[in-house]
């Protein structure tokens, strides 16, 4: 990889960083600003003049909504484009092998007769695998496994790989009634995957993170027709909105905490900000884990961090203003 490619990848990754740095910057700015006002007794002076502190919050909420809507545009258009462009750059550097089509975070359609979704890949180890086998006019067969291994890959001419699925279940055809399936748990399940002939075009498919909201909706519509679970797609769509509106949530909780703070040192503001941010992203990660492993409701878990932060912020604002 030359310097030009490295520089291109760096620029393409910048939009993804903005979605994290902007909410953090807004939260720390709110905490430091109102912490400084509180330390200099200016908040007390505002109270004594009869000026309601709620009037200070309203313009902040307006700014938060504007920034959040801007981040929605970033999440919906710029970040998916930059993420996909960076993947194409990396893939274009070297020749693709059969195993390179096993990518986490997207519905893999390159293998004949199967649609595969893998939540995590590390080397030859796979975690949380779902394999669907659509059949015309019949129910889609589903194989679910907690873990998996890439046992071997055949020579590139044959375009074939072998997976060993571990600790899962599969829907097996009832020999007496072929139209019906029964669930079969397994400890190990070998599966041979063959690449389709269409791959001569070397088309690069998009991951879920590479898709805009419009593309996610289209993919959801197609997969539902085949009887395939679309929870990962719904979760990503909700995450785009939830992450974007984290700015508004951070403003609502940052305002009362800054007012209550009696000391103006930067370390206090940074410490409070860091605690809130860690709580927010840990809760978001926990929710994502439950969605992946337990098929939990993506609407609830993707928005829960914002709901909790905003609820705590509103209660804290009431206590700070009315005390």
**Total-model pTM:** 0.81
The token duo for 189 is: 């399940």
CA distance linking residue 213 with residue 240, whole number of Å: 8
Tens digits of residue pLDDT in 167-226: 999 887 666 676 677 788 999 999 988 876 555 445 677 889 899 999 999 999 999 988
Span of 132-136, 149-153, 240-244, 302-306 with lowest mean pLDDT:
149-153
Domain chopping of the chain, boundaries:
3-90+237-322, 103-201
CB atoms within 10 A of CB 255: 26
CB atoms within 10 A of CB 96: 14
């Amino acid at each position: 990889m030359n310097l030009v490619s490295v520089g291109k990848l760096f620029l393409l990754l910048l939009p993804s960083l903005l979605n994290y740095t902007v909410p953090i910057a807004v939260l720390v700015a709110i905490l430091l600003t109102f912490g400084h006002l509180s330390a200099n007794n200016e908040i007390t002076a505002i109270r004594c003049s009869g000026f309601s502190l709620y009037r200070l919050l309203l313009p902040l909420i307006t700014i938060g909504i504007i920034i959040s809507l801007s981040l929605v545009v970033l999440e919906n258009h710029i970040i998916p484009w930059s993420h996909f462009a960076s993947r194409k750059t990396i893939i274009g550097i070297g020749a693709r092998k059969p195993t390179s089509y096993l990518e986490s975070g997207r519905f893999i359609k390159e293998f004949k007769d199967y649609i595969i979704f893998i939540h995590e890949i590390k080397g030859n180890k796979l975690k949380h695998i779902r394999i669907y086998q659509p059949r015309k006019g019949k129910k889609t067969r589903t194989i679910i496994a907690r873990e998996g291994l890439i046992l071997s890959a055949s020579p590139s001419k044959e375009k074939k790989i072998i997976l060993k699925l571990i600790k899962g279940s599969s829907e097996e055809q009832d020999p007496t009634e072929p139209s019906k399936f029964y669930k079969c748990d397994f400890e190990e399940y070998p599966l041979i995957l063959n690449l389709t002939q269409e791959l001569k075009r070397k088309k690069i498919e998009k991951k879920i993170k590479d898709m805009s909201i419009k593309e996610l909706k289209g993919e959801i519509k197609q997969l539902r027709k085949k009887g395939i679970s679309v929870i990962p797609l719904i979760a990503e769509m909700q995450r785009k909105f939830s992450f974007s509106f984290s700015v508004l949530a951070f403003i609502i909780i940052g305002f009362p905490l800054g007012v209550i703070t009696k000391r103006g040192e930067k370390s206090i503001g940074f410490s409070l900000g860091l605690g809130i941010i860690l709580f927010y992203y840990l809760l978001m990660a926990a929710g994502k884990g439950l969605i992946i492993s337990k098929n939990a409701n993506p609407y609830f878990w993707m928005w829960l961090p914002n709901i909790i932060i905003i609820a705590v912020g509103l209660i804290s604002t009431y206590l700070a203003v009315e005390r």
